[in-house]
Amino acid sequence: MSAAQPDAEGFFNLPNRTRQRLAFAALIAVALVVIGVTITVLGARRTEAIRNQAELRLTLFAGNVMSELRRSSIVPQLLARDPLLTSALESRDFSQSSQRLIEYRDELGVARLMLLDRDGRTVASSDRVDIGKEHRNEPYMVDALRADTTVFTSIFGDVGRPLFVYSRKLTRAGELLGVITVEVDLFKYERSWDGISEAVIVKDSNDVVLLTTEPRWRGKTEAAALAQEPPKNALVRALRARTDVFDAENSVLDGQSVMRSQARVPFQGWRIVSFSTYTPVRERVASVVALQVMAFAIMAAGLFYLTSRAAERRSLRLQRESAELRKLNLLLQREISERQKAERSLEVAEQTIAQSSKLAALGEMSAAVSHELNQPLAAMKTYLAGARLLVRRQRSEEAIVSFQRINDLIDRMAAITRQLKSYASKGGDAIGRVDLRAAVDSSLAMMQPQFRQRAIGLTVSLPDAAADVLAEQFRLEQVIVNLLRNAVDATRGRPDPQIDIILVAGDQVTLSVLDNGTGIVDLDALFEPFYTTKAAGDGVGLGLAISSSIVADLGGRLTARNRPEGGAVFEVQLPKFGDDRIAAQ
């Protein structure tokens, strides 16, 4: 204790700012070590868990496919012993054969059964449209004639989907009567994979994709399938970027890590492969790190409080020790005391103002993020409802399109947060020539679900020639979406809601948004922050304030007025691209 006491006294004898710096430096060092260990350990555990889940899922998928193949492999042998089918081939009377095959198909759960004569012509089938077709040169016919047992053949048909066929020849007394074929339905497993997040493929011994969650991959090698364009979702984009960089366990493709898992299907050298992203790992680690950062922030605040109190105690001790000196210099001490109080008050006031400014900025940023994200979230909800309905109707291709739109909206939400963080600096790195028509089309596409849901009449008038302005397209879309959203809210309750959009390119580019709603109550306070006439929870009053600021930054202005016939008009006026006023700015 006696050795530690001088060190503590030496620490507290240091200047207040130095003590705070040392204490915060030590806390930051501890925080970095803890966060680094958390990222390493937790990331490794979550990665291993995802890898185990992927391998277990692949084992289950491989078992299901193998079970179906084994179950169907015995069917040709059983049908070859059916006296009705063999006698029909001998007598050439096939009047009851097709009905018999239909009954077998329903009982056995296979995709299709066909009875071929010795010349390869379909004489009976569970699908009557096949009767009369020639199969003499088909691989399953040729293989069956060459072998004395049941043979399996996989070929790609005209529609680009492979056929999985078991075939066996029918004989009596050594004489060839015909061939029975059994088509196996493995695509039911492919359809069941639509609900998983991984990309899954089943390929044969020649590395050709037979089953896959991406139909366009069928018939291609694995490397060629991953390079297929255009990509459908974020995972496919990550896989297709650089197929020359490919690892048996993990890959870094276009800056994204992807986990590749593989299992063997014990059938003719088949293999099943899945590709999983590390997004769940990153999300889990990010959530834990965020909690740790919050805890260290609280500790930093407590440390700041303790160091401040220690400084106050030291100041009081020094005042007691100098009591006699203060008595001798009473008048001088009073003046010094007053100055010290004024300096402390000024310091406290400065800290209070700085902290209030930080809190105000934080509150405004949080409110802005909440306001701007409501629009893509509403669109995502609509697309998700449509995708759910499409999946129920087994219209997977159209559902994938909805998922792609949702993915685009997620990218847009990320762009919104980046834009709001850089909004205070008013940077112009992305400013360039923008066709305002394209910004209008993009904004209308985002708001289209709200228009359909509310049955709002929409009239759009755009010029044939380009309406170019010097701006950033995302910020223009942000302004247009805000105006459209206000127009939608203004027409709420109207029996015949109508919104008109007029774009005119003259000496300057003018975009007008007209509605037949209730009009504007207070035009003077319209563009003030946090002014809103909406109910609590429907809006915070930042949309028009942000839009007005964006338009002003671009050298234009945003105005509003009421229409004589009812409703409101919002006009965005921007300088035409190449205008000398832009150069002057």
Q: How far is CA 201 from CA 60, 212, 242, 247, 342, in A?
A: 14, 4, 19, 16, 75
Q: What is the per-residue pLDDT for 19?
A: 67
Q: CA-to-CA distance for 398 and 401, rounded, in angstroms? A: 5
Count Cβ atoms within 10 A of the Cβ of residue 434 and give its class: 0-12 exposed, 13-18 middle, 19 or more buried. buried
The DSSP secondary-structure symbol of 464 reads S
Q: Quote the radius of gyration of the chain (alpha carbons, Å).
A: 37
Task: Look up the CATH superfamily of 430-575.
Answer: Histidine kinase-like ATPase, C-terminal domain (3.30.565.10)
Q: Of 169-178, 359-368, 542-551, 555-564, which has the strongest mean pLDDT?
A: 555-564
H or E stretch at 5:
helix 4-13
Amino acid at 95: S
- Predicted confidence (pLDDT) at residue 144 exceeds the cutoff of 90: no
Q: What is the per-residue pLDDT for 120?
A: 87
Average pLDDT of the segment spanning 403-416 = 79
Average pLDDT of the segment spanning 444-469 = 84
The boundaries of every CATH 3.30.565.10 domain in the chain are 430-575
Question: Residue-wise over 95-120: b if at least 16 C-beta within 10 A, else e?
Answer: eebbebbbebbeeeebbbbbbbbbeb
Q: What is the per-residue pLDDT for 3?
A: 45
DSSP string computed for 322-391: THHHHHHTHHHHHHHHHHHHHHHHHHHHHHHHHHHHHHHHHHHHHHHHHHHHHHHHHHHHHHHHHHHHHH
Pair 183, 110: CB distance under 8 Å: yes
Helices (H) and strands (E) in the chain, counts: 17, 17
**Cα dihedral: 279, 284, 286, 291 (round 10):** 170
- Predicted confidence (pLDDT) at residue 75 exceeds the cutoff of 50: yes
The pLDDT tens digits for 332-348 are 777 787 888 888 876 66
DSSP string computed for 215-237: GGGTTSBHHHHHT-SS--SHHHH
- Predicted confidence (pLDDT) at residue 91 exceeds the cutoff of 50: yes
- Predicted confidence (pLDDT) at residue 63 exceeds the cutoff of 80: yes
Strand 256-265 and strand 270-277: pairing? antiparallel
What is the spatial order of strands in the sheet that 568-575 belongs to? 457-461, 498-505, 508-515, 568-575, 557-562
Amino acid at 355: Q
Q: Greater confidence, 115 or 227?
A: 115
- Predicted confidence (pLDDT) at residue 315 exceeds the cutoff of 90: no
Least confident of 224-228, 428-432, 536-540: 536-540
Least confident of 145-149, 221-225, 293-297, 465-469: 221-225
Q: Greater confidence, 497 or 347?
A: 497
Beta partners for 168?
Answer: 180
Average pLDDT of the segment spanning 183-194 = 80
Give the chain's largest Cα–Cα span: 137
What is the spatial order of strands in the sheet that 122-125 belongs to? 122-125, 112-117, 175-184, 162-172, 151-156
Q: What percent of the chain has pLDDT over 90?
A: 5
Q: What is the per-residue pLDDT for 247?
A: 40
The pLDDT tens digits for 105-136 are 888 888 888 988 888 898 888 888 888 888 88
Q: Is 210 helix (H, G, I), strand (E, B) or coil?
A: strand
Q: What is the per-residue pLDDT for 354?
A: 36
Indicate the fold that domain 31-226+264-276 takes in CATH. Answer: Beta-Lactamase (3.30.450)
Q: What is the per-residue pLDDT for 9?
A: 52
Average pLDDT of the segment spanning 39-59 = 80
Q: What is the per-residue pLDDT for 357?
A: 39
Q: What is the per-residue pLDDT for 245?
A: 34
Q: What is the per-residue pLDDT for 405?
A: 83
- Predicted confidence (pLDDT) at residue 511 exceeds the cutoff of 90: yes
Token pair recorded at residue 504: 């005119």
Q: What is the per-residue pLDDT for 2?
A: 45
Q: What is the per-residue pLDDT for 422?
A: 44
Average pLDDT of the segment spanning 475-493 = 85
Q: What is the per-residue pLDDT for 347?
A: 65
Q: Greater confidence, 246 or 422?
A: 422
Least confident of 125-139, 257-271, 520-534: 520-534
